[in-house]
Chain A
């Protein structure tokens, strides 16, 4: 079956620090990969996605590269801001996107001024 493993949090960083949140996966078939973000008091929002090997998804300064050889999709940002404080979820779907998302357990990021 499908599964996603994320690094445990919380991750606490100072403003302008470099961020990496690790994500690895196992999947039956060829998955599409996603990062979703949940800001305090808000619903889950898509942050970025990648649909094939070596694709790089990017949005709001965040990036993640689809690495098929290491089955990974690590999230990175060069300089975090206090407003990036949220819970980040790595997720995947298979079956050309017709199947439901499988999520990791989430990583809480706290950015201090």
Chain B
């Protein structure tokens, strides 16, 4: 079974630039999550999708972050404009409706904002 795919693995940008991350979840998983993991901290939820609808985006900084999941499969997370404090690993995860909360994680995209 293929896992959660994310790209790119690494990205370095200057502050005020924009950046986009892509995620392809496990086939058949209805729920997709984006987490932000700052160095030395646990992952923090940014947004949760159920199919192509948003379930929870209460922690998403909507003035600069946006995410979409067209057709209920792949997802893109965008930051525009980036700030220094956005430097983190961005994790995508997916789960099935029968998973009992078990989520499968991608390897993440490490973003450095300089």
Residues of B within 8 A of A (CB): 3-4, 31, 33, 40-45, 48, 55-56, 91, 93, 95, 97, 99-108
Bound: A91/B41 CA distance, A? 13
Residues of A within 8 A of B (CB): 4, 32, 34, 36, 42-46, 49, 51, 89, 91, 93, 96-106
Task: Write out the residue numbers on chain B whose beta carbons fall within 8 Å of the beta carbon of A4.
Answer: 42
18 contacts between A and B (CB under 8 A): A32-B100, A43-B4, A43-B106, A43-B108, A44-B91, A44-B93, A49-B102, A89-B42, A91-B42, A97-B99, A97-B100, A98-B31, A99-B56, A100-B45, A100-B48, A100-B56, A101-B45, A105-B40
Q: Are B101 and A44 in contact (CB under 8 A)?
A: no
Task: Write out the residue numbers on chain A whose beta carbons fall within 8 Å of the beta carbon of B56.
Answer: 99-100
Q: Are B101 and A97 in contact (CB under 8 A)?
A: yes
Q: A98-B101, A100-B56 are in contact. List 15 more A-B contacts (CB 8 A).
A: A32-B100, A34-B101, A34-B102, A43-B91, A43-B107, A44-B91, A46-B103, A46-B104, A49-B100, A89-B43, A100-B33, A101-B45, A103-B42, A105-B40, A106-B42
Bound: A43/B108 CA distance, A? 7
Task: Write out the residue numbers on chain B whose beta carbons fall within 8 Å of the beta carbon of A36.
Answer: 105
Contact among B33, B42, B95, B105 for A105, CB-based, below 8 A: B42
Kindly name the residue among B33, B99, B103 whose own CB sees the greatest number of chain A CB atoms within 10 A: B103
Bound: A43/B97 CA distance, A? 22
Q: Are B42 and A104 in contact (CB under 8 A)?
A: yes
Task: Write out the residue numbers on chain A whose beta carbons fall within 8 Å of the beta carbon of B100.
Answer: 32, 49, 51, 96-97
